[in-house]
Amino acid sequence: EVHLVESGGVLVQPGGSLRLSCAASGFTFSDYWMNWVRQAPGKGLEWVANINQDGSAKHYVDSVKGRFTISRDNAKSSLYLEMNSLRAEDSAVYYCARDRYSTGSLDSWGQGTLVTVSS
């Protein structure tokens, strides 16, 4: 069974930094594109970033370019999101999700980790 577990979400001050992690199990992690998707409280889903199987291709939503970095460690079956220069509008539950067919088909999601940016 596919299992994704996010961690690292905390309360952080504006301008601060944070690293989110996603531990994967139940599938061959290195075979799949992986994504981060966020959802602010009471709001809709927002795609944040994705990374290809070997980490050589990374894409981001415009609002996080230059501030967030997605990475992966296939040996550890782990996905990461390094978040810098955090803003209040980055406050959200952050989900990691597997892209089943490399077409944006996000078939497996973690339970999410809450990031709150506030002074």
Partner 1 sequence: QSALTQPAAVSGSPGQSITISCTGTSSDIGYIYNFVSWYQQHPGKTPKLIIYDVTNRPSGVSNRFSGSKSGHTASLTISGLQAEDEADYYCNSYSSSGPSYVFGTGTKVTVL
Q: Round to whole Å and give the CA distance between 2 and 13.
A: 34
Size of the site for partner 1 (CB under 8 A): 23
Based on the shown chain and the rule CB under 8 A, indicate whether residue 111 belongs to the binding site for partner 1.
yes
The residue within the footprint of partner 1, chosen from 29, 32, 60, 94 (CB under 8 A), is 60
Nearest residue (CB) to partner 1, 37 versus 86: 37
Residue pair 86/61 in contact by the 8 Å Cβ criterion: no
The residue within the footprint of partner 1, chosen from 46, 52, 84, 87 (CB under 8 A), is 46
Q: How deeply is 68 buried, as exposed, middle or buried, from its count of CB atoms within 10 A (0-12, 13-18, 19+)?
A: buried
Residue count of the chain: 119
Q: Which residues bind partner 1 (CB under 8 A)?
A: 35, 37, 44-47, 50, 59-62, 95, 100-101, 103-107, 109-112
